[in-house]
Amino acid sequence: MQKGEGVYNVVVIGGGTAGLVTAAGTAGLGGRVALIERGRMGGDCLNTGCVPSKALISSARLVEQIRQAERWGLLSQEPRFQFEAIYARMRERRSKIAPHDSQDRFESLGVDVFRGRARFLSPREVRVGDTVLRAKNFVIATGTRAAIPPMDGLDRVPHYTNETVFDDLVEKPGRLVVFGGGPIGCELGQTFARLGVEVTILQRPHRILPREDPDASELLLRRLQAEGVNVLTGATARVVARSERTIRVWADVEGEETRHPIDGDAILIAAGRTPNVEELDLEAAGVAYSKSGVTVNEYLQTSQHHIYAAGDVVGQYLFTHVADAHARTVVRNILLPWFKAKREDRVIPWCTYTSPEVARVGLNETEAERKGIACDVWKEPLADLDRAVVESEEEGFAKVLTKKGTDKILGATLVAERAGDLLQEFVLAMKAGVGLKRISGTIHAYPTYSEIARKVADRQQKARLTPFAKKLFERMYRRRRGS
């Protein structure tokens, strides 16, 4: 059958993580699948998100280590680098990964790839260019884009988002004003500061990373300030103006009677995300959606049950690994509609890749209190971990919440240079129903960062030793000594 003709098992709209995994999975199982992508294959993660940002973060981390060489017993020195070379390295690293998501690779897997804008004509038809595609099932995986806040003058000055800063920025700005103190704002704010840019972060809430544990937010704030980042919380940018080469931002800052002026050479907007739904003509398909994204049930079905949605366009958890998990669920549910799987909403890890990293799974203290969930809190400072001490990376902690009076893990927050990797032991424990007692009884190699999990578990286990039990054990020891 010719490309575009007949009926497909699945037509996927969007070539980011959710769309690619859905297309590859369906084709791999023998299904006939079409993939529509209007931009670059790989979507946000490969081109303007995870991959380029982490490549820059990697270079900036090394720059900062050289700058802090005395901590490792080296002579004090200033790092020597060219901003343009670091950007070139980021793009080279990205290009090395890109073939995995390329059109050629997916066509080699048996996927019919169409380039252009997709638009529903009916619940069973989608137009792309001059071609009309028909399918038994559709998957909407169009992702999100940077939200641009309404602000007087913003449309008259150049500004960047994550979608433009990795390709359109051609030289190092002297001063950068970042709108937003969430994960993207904190990651890139710290990165540019380490690369010699004067950075100011404007954060509307009263703390950065407001979804995270307050202790984690406070620790990261101290680190950012120590590295020279100016962070203004309770700050809302109101007016932007340009005078010759200088961009001036006027912000309302709580506690200040007059508007606060911030001068910069560039603006980076990291103030939230907007789902890509406007051009799909979802009304023609009868698919419900809101400002948060496409509305789905626990099986990732939309209001039209043969049409699914996956990834960031669904809202709530905007992470590549969640998009991957969504796609796997959708592939199964389309193939086996009589035995549908529910999407995972309980054990979802995430990480903000600052230095130190802030990683989390499950509940934190603030959420547990808000939901009225009784819990015990176990906190272990990284400074008590021998490996962290010898690596001069003691700043951070592990905090684990357990169900009141038990060792059942309800959530964990880790703040450490390798927090994203260290978190996975708690993720697996929660998924498998393993409590802190089992972790405490598991041998961990010494000296490793992973010992932080055992140390937290040991703390919980030691707390179970009641005064009565301790006295009982003391008597047993005395009897065995014969005294």
Please state the domain extents for the chain.
7-145+274-335, 154-272, 356-463
Q: Are 7-145+274-335 and 154-272 the same fold in CATH?
A: yes
- Using an 8 Å Cβ cutoff, are 350 and 209 in contact? no
Identify the three-state secondary structure at position 348.
coil
Separation CA 329–CA 275 (nearest Å):
21
- CATH 3.40.50.970 describes domain 7-145+274-335: no
For residues 90 and 51, what is the distance between their CA atoms, to the nearest angstrom?
A: 8
Listed in sequence order, the DSSP H helices in 336-466 are 365-371, 386-390, 419-422, 424-432, 436-440, 451-463
Q: What is the dihedral of CA 195, 198, 203, 208, to 10 degrees?
A: 40
- Say what the pTM is: 0.94
Q: How far apart are CA 207 and CA 365, in angstroms?
A: 16
- DSSP conformation class of 296: -
Q: How far apart are CA 21 and CA 27, in angstroms?
A: 10
Q: What is the pLDDT of residue 483?
A: 64
Specify whether the CB–CB gap between 276 and 282 falls below 8 A: no
Residues 205/55/326/21 CA torsion (nearest 10 deg): 160
**Phi, psi torsion values for 116, nearest 5 degrees:** 145, 180
- Residue pLDDT tens, the chain, 483 long: 889 999 999 999 999 999 999 999 999 999 999 999 999 999 999 999 999 999 999 999 999 999 999 999 999 999 999 999 999 999 999 999 999 999 999 999 999 999 999 999 999 999 999 999 999 999 999 999 999 999 999 988 989 999 999 999 989 999 999 999 999 999 999 999 999 999 999 999 999 999 999 999 999 999 999 999 999 999 999 999 988 789 999 999 988 888 889 999 999 999 999 999 999 999 999 999 999 999 999 999 999 999 999 999 998 899 999 999 999 999 999 999 999 999 998 999 999 999 999 999 999 999 999 999 999 999 999 999 999 999 999 999 999 999 999 999 999 999 999 999 999 999 999 999 999 999 999 999 999 999 999 999 999 998 887 777 778 788 888 888 876
CATH superfamily of 154-272: FAD/NAD(P)-binding domain (3.50.50.60)
Distance of CA 8 to the CA centre of its chain: 33
- Do 470 and 412 form a contact (C-beta atoms < 8 A)? no
Looking at residue 158, its pLDDT comes to 87
- CA distances to 26, 105, 299 from 3, in Å: 16, 16, 30
Helices 183-194 + 214-226 axis angle, to 10: 20
Q: Residue 244 has which token pair?
A: 């010759």
In this structure, the strands spanning 375-381 and 397-403 are: antiparallel
Report how far apart, in Å, the C-alpha atoms of 16 and of each of 97, 324, 342, 446 are. Answer: 14, 10, 22, 40
pLDDT at residue 476, rounded to an integer: 84
Is there a contact between 333 and 340 (Cβ–Cβ < 8 Å)? yes
Token duo for residue 317:
């958890």
The domain made up of 356-463 has a fold known as Enolase-like; domain 1 (3.30.390)
